[in-house]
Amino acid sequence: MNHAVFPRTGDTQTVYLKKVITNPNIQVGEYTIYNDFVNDPVLFEKNNVLYQYPVNHDKLIIGKFCSIACGAKFIFNSANHTLHSLSTYPFPIFFEEWGLERKEVASAWDNKGDIIIGNDVWIGYEAVILAGVSIGDGAIVGTRAVVTKDVPPYTIVGGVPAKPIRRRFDEATVARMLELQWWNWPDERIRKAIPAIQSGNLEILTQC
């Protein structure tokens, strides 16, 4: 297991994301990387995880071996203004002004749940993932896509709002990949399997 913040010598734009996370409501798996050539990638929590206020207790969960491109954003529930009200104005946030109960502040927005990213997911440049979305293992999110709905495993999505473009593999291959879960193998086994993974040879991978 590599415990370095920066996995490549001389590259300060790419970090192992788990090494720079301090927020207990953000969980990141081993070897997931974040690259940022605009801002300091160490500041991922501040610049990329938005509206995740402690009062809401919502979580960002990211699996292992994910690749997150520069500017990708994860927008949480507190960014929403409730649609159950006759007005979108967030009165409960300004409880002091209007004499409301402080404990009701979270009623100012609709709570759609956590953001859950699977393993081996590639999230493209400036993509946006909204609250309540789950993205399956092996999925790809295109550049500047806005993901408002769940993404199945090994599916490529793109656009605003993001829609499926195609599956990466046939159903049998997807099922086998989800069964193998190579990302959970010990490091040494993964190291030996890299040629099979890189060549796209599922038959050899199953023998590793």
Q: Residue 27 corresponds to which tokens in the numbers above?
A: 């969980």
- The single residue of 3, 57, 81, 84 carrying the catalytic annotation is 81
Q: Residue 183 corresponds to which tokens in the numbers above?
A: 């990302």
Tell me the mean pLDDT in the region 124-141: 98
Mean pLDDT over the full length of the chain: 96
Does the pTM of the predicted model rise above 0.75? yes
172's enclosing H/E stretch is helix 171-180
**pLDDT score recorded for residue 195:** 96
3 among known catalytic residues: no
Q: Collect all residues with Cβ–Cβ distance below 8 Å to 181 and sequence separation of at least 6.
A: 119, 137
Q: Cβ distance 63 to 29 under 8 Å?
A: yes
Domain residue spans in the chain?
14-168, 169-208
What is the CATH number that goes with domain 14-168? 2.160.10.10
**pLDDT score recorded for residue 2:** 54
